[in-house]
Amino acid sequence: MAVNVMNYFAPLDILGASQFQSAFKTDQLQALALASLRSYGRGYDIALVFFGVHCLLIGYLIFRSIFLPRIFGLVMVLAGIGWLTFLWQPLANHLYRTSSSPALLGKACSHCGCS
């Protein structure tokens, strides 16, 4: 995700730098800037898949632990499955409302210090 944020700064370089102004036409520069912004969205979806795998693994470890309630592990596994729906974008768009609930609950559980 940190590397992907650079896609937000690329349009500033493309549209603001004078060295690009002479090499390309205005509509070409705007198209390059838009392509950079769209690649951020794709990079974000890829990062969510890795986060889903992370949630699955953490959920499994919590489920197998003896000092944390197993329900937290189950919620984290459900959250991981919800984030893994971003492997296929039409499925993610269709199941967003159903898959985001356990994902957000699992994310809240991971931030409260349970895991």
AA identity, residue 87: L
Residue ranges of the alpha helices (H) in the chain? 6-16, 18-21, 26-64, 70-84, 89-94, 96-111
Question: What DSSP state is assigned to residue 68?
Answer: S
Residue-wise pLDDT for 12-59, tens only, equals: 887 886 676 777 888 888 898 899 888 888 888 888 888 889 999 999
Residue-wise pLDDT for 58-108, tens only, equals: 999 999 988 888 888 888 888 888 878 777 767 666 665 565 555 565 555
Q: How far is CA 59 from CA 45, 49, 53, 56, 65, in A?
A: 21, 15, 10, 5, 10
Q: Residue written as tokens 């937290």?
A: 72
Residues 6+ apart with CB under 8 A from 16: none
